Protein backbone atom coordinates (compact mmCIF):
# COMPACT_ATOMS: atom_id res chain seq x y z
CA UNK A 1 0.00 0.00 0.00
CA UNK A 2 2.88 2.40 0.48
CA UNK A 3 3.98 4.78 -2.22
CA UNK A 4 6.22 7.82 -2.41
CA UNK A 5 3.92 9.72 -0.05
CA UNK A 6 4.20 7.13 2.70
CA UNK A 7 0.51 6.47 2.44
CA UNK A 8 -0.79 3.65 4.57
CA UNK A 9 -4.16 1.97 4.77
CA UNK A 10 -5.48 -0.05 7.65
CA UNK A 11 -8.91 -1.01 8.84
CA UNK A 12 -10.06 -0.70 12.43
CA UNK A 13 -13.05 -2.44 13.96
CA UNK A 14 -13.54 0.23 16.60
CA UNK A 15 -15.05 3.56 15.75
CA UNK A 16 -13.30 6.42 17.53
CA UNK A 17 -15.37 8.88 19.53
CA UNK A 18 -17.13 11.57 17.60
CA UNK A 19 -15.21 14.82 17.61
CA UNK A 20 -16.43 18.40 17.37
CA UNK A 21 -17.36 19.55 13.93
CA UNK A 22 -16.58 22.87 12.32
CA UNK A 23 -19.29 25.02 10.81
CA UNK A 24 -18.67 25.78 7.18
CA UNK A 25 -19.95 28.02 4.46
CA UNK A 26 -20.94 26.22 1.32
CA UNK A 27 -20.60 27.70 -2.10
CA UNK A 28 -21.26 24.90 -4.53
CA UNK A 29 -20.83 24.71 -8.22
CA UNK A 30 -22.24 21.80 -10.21
CA UNK A 31 -19.97 19.27 -11.91
CA UNK A 32 -18.69 20.40 -15.28
CA UNK A 33 -21.24 18.58 -17.38
CA UNK A 34 -24.35 17.85 -15.34
CA UNK A 35 -27.41 17.03 -17.42
CA UNK A 36 -30.12 16.68 -14.78
CA UNK A 37 -32.78 15.71 -17.31
CA UNK A 38 -30.67 12.87 -18.70
CA UNK A 39 -29.71 11.82 -15.16
CA UNK A 40 -33.37 11.69 -14.17
CA UNK A 41 -34.27 9.56 -17.21
CA UNK A 42 -31.32 7.25 -16.49
CA UNK A 43 -32.33 6.95 -12.82
CA UNK A 44 -35.84 5.94 -13.91
CA UNK A 45 -34.33 3.32 -16.23
CA UNK A 46 -32.09 1.99 -13.46
CA UNK A 47 -34.94 1.70 -10.97
CA UNK A 48 -37.18 0.03 -13.57
CA UNK A 49 -34.39 -2.39 -14.47
CA UNK A 50 -34.10 -3.27 -10.79
CA UNK A 51 -37.78 -4.18 -10.83
CA UNK A 52 -38.97 -1.25 -8.73
CA UNK A 53 -42.49 0.06 -9.27
CA UNK A 54 -42.34 3.73 -10.25
CA UNK A 55 -46.06 4.11 -10.92
CA UNK A 56 -47.13 4.65 -7.30
CA UNK A 57 -47.27 7.95 -5.49
CA UNK A 58 -44.34 7.18 -3.24
CA UNK A 59 -41.77 6.65 -5.98
CA UNK A 60 -43.12 8.77 -8.80
CA UNK A 61 -40.67 11.55 -8.03
CA UNK A 62 -37.80 9.28 -7.02
CA UNK A 63 -35.83 9.48 -10.29
CA UNK A 64 -35.84 13.28 -10.07
CA UNK A 65 -34.78 13.19 -6.40
CA UNK A 66 -32.03 10.67 -7.16
CA UNK A 67 -30.65 12.84 -9.97
CA UNK A 68 -30.63 15.94 -7.76
CA UNK A 69 -29.15 14.11 -4.78
CA UNK A 70 -26.22 12.80 -6.82
CA UNK A 71 -25.73 16.14 -8.55
CA UNK A 72 -25.55 17.83 -5.13
CA UNK A 73 -23.11 15.29 -3.70
CA UNK A 74 -20.91 15.68 -6.78
CA UNK A 75 -21.00 19.49 -6.90
CA UNK A 76 -17.48 20.66 -6.16
CA UNK A 77 -17.51 23.60 -3.72
CA UNK A 78 -15.43 26.58 -4.77
CA UNK A 79 -13.06 28.17 -2.28
CA UNK A 80 -10.01 30.35 -2.06
CA UNK A 81 -7.15 28.88 -0.11
CA UNK A 82 -6.23 32.04 1.75
CA UNK A 83 -2.83 32.00 3.41
CA UNK A 84 -1.24 34.57 5.73
CA UNK A 85 2.36 35.46 6.53
CA UNK A 86 3.62 33.63 9.61
CA UNK A 87 4.50 36.87 11.39
CA UNK A 88 4.81 35.24 14.83
CA UNK A 89 7.17 32.61 13.50
CA UNK A 90 4.94 29.83 14.89
CA UNK A 91 6.78 26.59 14.21
CA UNK A 92 4.84 23.93 16.13
CA UNK A 93 2.24 21.58 14.75
CA UNK A 94 -1.11 23.06 13.70
CA UNK A 95 -3.75 20.32 13.71
CA UNK A 96 -7.49 20.50 13.00
CA UNK A 97 -9.20 17.32 14.17
CA UNK A 98 -12.55 15.78 13.35
CA UNK A 99 -13.31 17.55 10.08
CA UNK A 100 -16.42 15.85 8.64
CA UNK A 101 -15.86 13.83 5.47
CA UNK A 102 -18.78 12.97 3.20
CA UNK A 103 -17.90 11.48 -0.13
CA UNK A 104 -18.97 8.94 -2.73
CA UNK A 105 -16.94 5.82 -3.43
CA UNK A 106 -16.26 5.77 -7.15
CA UNK A 107 -16.52 1.98 -7.33
CA UNK A 108 -20.13 1.73 -6.11
CA UNK A 109 -21.35 5.35 -6.01
CA UNK A 110 -22.33 4.74 -2.40
CA UNK A 111 -21.39 7.19 0.37
CA UNK A 112 -18.45 6.93 2.70
CA UNK A 113 -18.45 9.17 5.75
CA UNK A 114 -16.09 9.89 8.58
CA UNK A 115 -13.57 12.43 9.77
CA UNK A 116 -10.27 13.90 8.65
CA UNK A 117 -7.44 15.17 10.82
CA UNK A 118 -5.31 17.67 8.95
CA UNK A 119 -2.09 19.19 10.25
CA UNK A 120 1.07 20.96 9.15
CA UNK A 121 4.30 22.41 10.45
CA UNK A 122 4.32 26.06 9.33
CA UNK A 123 7.16 27.72 7.46
CA UNK A 124 6.65 31.24 6.02
CA UNK A 125 2.88 31.02 5.50
CA UNK A 126 -0.01 29.91 7.69
CA UNK A 127 -3.47 28.78 6.61
CA UNK A 128 -6.79 30.29 7.76
CA UNK A 129 -8.30 27.73 10.14
CA UNK A 130 -11.61 27.49 8.28
CA UNK A 131 -9.72 26.44 5.16
CA UNK A 132 -8.84 23.03 6.55
CA UNK A 133 -12.48 21.92 6.36
CA UNK A 134 -12.87 23.63 3.00
CA UNK A 135 -10.00 21.81 1.39
CA UNK A 136 -11.35 18.47 2.63
CA UNK A 137 -14.81 19.32 1.28
CA UNK A 138 -13.35 20.45 -2.02
CA UNK A 139 -11.86 17.03 -2.70
CA UNK A 140 -14.66 15.02 -1.03
CA UNK A 141 -17.44 16.32 -3.29
CA UNK A 142 -16.70 14.04 -6.20
CA UNK A 143 -16.54 10.38 -7.07
CA UNK A 144 -13.57 9.40 -4.94
CA UNK A 145 -11.44 6.82 -3.28
CA UNK A 146 -10.41 7.47 0.31
CA UNK A 147 -6.77 6.94 -0.62
CA UNK A 148 -6.89 9.59 -3.36
CA UNK A 149 -8.81 12.03 -1.15
CA UNK A 150 -6.14 11.73 1.54
CA UNK A 151 -3.35 12.28 -0.95
CA UNK A 152 -5.02 15.21 -2.73
CA UNK A 153 -5.60 17.13 0.52
CA UNK A 154 -1.97 16.55 1.51
CA UNK A 155 -0.62 17.63 -1.87
CA UNK A 156 -2.80 20.76 -1.96
CA UNK A 157 -1.47 21.90 1.43
CA UNK A 158 2.07 21.15 0.40
CA UNK A 159 1.66 23.06 -2.85
CA UNK A 160 -0.04 26.16 -1.40
CA UNK A 161 1.76 26.51 1.96
CA UNK A 162 5.18 25.03 1.27
CA UNK A 163 5.26 24.07 4.96
CA UNK A 164 7.96 22.07 6.74
CA UNK A 165 5.59 19.13 6.92
CA UNK A 166 2.03 18.00 6.26
CA UNK A 167 0.01 15.14 7.72
CA UNK A 168 -3.48 14.02 6.81
CA UNK A 169 -5.40 11.12 8.36
CA UNK A 170 -8.86 10.12 7.15
CA UNK A 171 -11.04 7.64 9.05
CA UNK A 172 -14.23 6.62 7.27
CA UNK A 173 -16.93 4.00 7.09
CA UNK A 174 -17.79 2.85 3.58
CA UNK A 175 -21.42 1.91 3.06
CA UNK A 176 -20.38 -0.28 0.13
CA UNK A 177 -18.68 -2.39 2.79
CA UNK A 178 -21.13 -2.01 5.69
CA UNK A 179 -24.46 -2.31 3.85
CA UNK A 180 -23.55 -4.89 1.23
CA UNK A 181 -20.75 -7.36 0.43
CA UNK A 182 -19.07 -8.36 3.67
CA UNK A 183 -21.50 -6.18 5.71
CA UNK A 184 -18.74 -5.14 8.04
CA UNK A 185 -20.79 -2.56 9.93
CA UNK A 186 -18.62 -0.33 12.12
CA UNK A 187 -15.39 -1.19 10.31
CA UNK A 188 -13.44 1.98 9.64
CA UNK A 189 -10.81 2.46 7.00
CA UNK A 190 -7.90 4.67 8.04
CA UNK A 191 -5.68 6.30 5.43
CA UNK A 192 -2.80 8.67 6.01
CA UNK A 193 -0.33 10.66 3.98
CA UNK A 194 2.71 12.62 5.15
CA UNK A 195 5.13 15.06 3.59
CA UNK A 196 8.35 16.65 4.72
CA UNK A 197 9.36 16.55 8.37
CA UNK A 198 6.24 14.60 9.37
CA UNK A 199 7.18 11.91 6.89
CA UNK A 200 10.88 11.79 7.62
CA UNK A 201 10.87 12.15 11.41
CA UNK A 202 9.17 9.20 13.08
CA UNK A 203 8.96 11.05 16.43
CA UNK A 204 7.15 14.00 14.83
CA UNK A 205 4.82 11.62 13.04
CA UNK A 206 4.15 9.71 16.26
CA UNK A 207 3.27 13.00 17.99
CA UNK A 208 0.92 13.87 15.14
CA UNK A 209 -0.79 10.48 15.34
CA UNK A 210 -1.02 10.65 19.14
CA UNK A 211 -2.74 14.04 18.89
CA UNK A 212 -5.22 12.71 16.32
CA UNK A 213 -5.97 9.76 18.59
CA UNK A 214 -5.32 7.34 15.74
CA UNK A 215 -3.39 4.26 16.60
CA UNK A 216 -0.73 3.48 14.05
CA UNK A 217 2.84 2.53 13.60
CA UNK A 218 5.15 5.45 14.25
Per DSSP, the three-state class of 119 is strand
Active-site residue set: 105-108, 146, 174, 176
Given the complex with Zn ion, which of 108 and 142 has the nearer CB atom? 108
Give 190: exposed, middle or buried? Use CB within 10 Å, 0-12, 13-18, 19+. Answer: buried
- Cα 99 to Cα 45: distance, rounded to the nearest angstrom: 37
Residue 198 near residue 166, CB atoms below 8 Å: yes
Given the complex with Zn ion, which of 41 and 110 has the nearer CB atom? 110
Give 119: exposed, middle or buried? Use CB within 10 Å, 0-12, 13-18, 19+. Answer: buried
Q: Which residues bind Zn ion (CB under 5 A)?
A: 105, 107-108, 176
Given the complex with Zn ion, which of 106 and 159 has the nearer CB atom? 106
Q: How far is CA 190 from CA 43, 51, 52, 162, 187, in A?
A: 32, 36, 36, 25, 10
Q: Which residue is nearest to Zn ion (CB)?
A: 176
176 annotated binding-site participant: yes
Angle at Cα 106 formed by Cα 135 and Cα 209, nearest 5°? Answer: 45
Residue 139 near residue 82, CB atoms below 8 Å: no
State in angstroms the smallest separation of the CB of 200 from Zn ion.
33
Given the complex with Zn ion, which of 105 and 116 has the nearer CB atom? 105
- Cα 150 to Cα 184: distance, rounded to the nearest angstrom: 22
What residues form the annotated binding site for Zn(2+)? Answer: 105, 108, 176
Amino acid sequence: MSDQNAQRVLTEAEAPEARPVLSRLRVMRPPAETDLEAAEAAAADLLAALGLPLGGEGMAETPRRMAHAYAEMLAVPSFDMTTFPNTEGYDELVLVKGIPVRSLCEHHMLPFTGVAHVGYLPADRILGLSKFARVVDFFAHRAQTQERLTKQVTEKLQERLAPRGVGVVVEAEHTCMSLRGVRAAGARTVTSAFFGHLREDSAARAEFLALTGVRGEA
